[in-house]
Amino acid sequence: MNTIEQYTQAVNQCRDIFKKKTSDYGTSWRVYRTISIVDQIYIKAKRIRTIQEKQEQKIGDTIASEFKGILNYAVMGLIQLELPQSENDELSVEKVMELYNDKITKAQLLMLDKNHDYGEAWREMSQESFVDLMLAKLQRIRQILQNDGKTLVSEGIDANYYDIINYAVFGLILIEEGTHKG
């Protein structure tokens, strides 16, 4: 498979989970503020890092399932940035999936542009680096929030979420290939 096919396969797994959870829970995540989504992603990335460092785990959820959760929370974060904050605004499954697909399309286009310039360097990176990069992106979002959303020369919150999505996809691709532990 080529990168686009692998990317699509990884995203389809995440999308399926997201759609099923939306059917089960609705859009209860609409109550999350940006910092809450950041913390949800942090919990998952920190768990992967802890498993990497301890070389063991006690809870059955796999590293791959954590990458899928990270991707889905980052998409939620992007949707929340786009829509007005509302605790009671329930969105239909169809509308949520339309928004989800839009964010994933933008993430994939970004990946293709970066792959062009960087020559798919991510294929030679460690899983640990993906997690560390995600944790750094989360720290950046926290700092942007402390700065009331303003940056002087840096990308905004959305750019960090898009990078997190792509790191999660890269992690899933390399797990699927057997290059990384899953």
Amino acid residing at 86: S
Helix axes 3-25, 93-118, angle to 10 degrees: 160
Q: What is the pLDDT of residue 87?
A: 62
Number of Cβ atoms within 10 Å of the Cβ of 106:
14
- Whether residue 97 is contained in a domain is answered as yes
8 A C-beta contact, residue 157 and residue 124:
no
Residue 182: inside a domain, yes or no? no
Asked if residue 124 is part of any domain, the answer here is yes
Total length of the chain: 182
Q: What is the DSSP letter of 89?
A: -
CA distance 45 to 21: 20
Residues in the chain where the model's pLDDT stays below 70: 87
Comparing C-alpha atoms, which of 170, 30, 41 is closest to residue 86? 30
Distance CA 88, CA 3 (A): 39
Contact call for residues 162 and 107 (beta carbons, < 8 A):
yes
Return the pLDDT at 157. Answer: 97
- Lookup: tokens for 15: 């999308």
Whether 82 is in a domain gets the answer: yes
Cα–Cα distance for residue pair 164/168, rounded to 1 Å = 6
pLDDT at 100: 98
* Half-sphere exposure at residue 93, Cβ-oriented, CA atoms within 13 angstroms: 12
Q: Which range of residues forms the domain containing residue 134?
A: 3-177
81 lies in a domain?
yes
- Residue 39 counted as domain residue: yes
- At residue 58, the pLDDT reads 92
**Structurally, how many domains does the chain consist of?**
1
In a domain? residue 33: yes
* Neighbour count for residue 29 (Cβ, 10 Å): 19
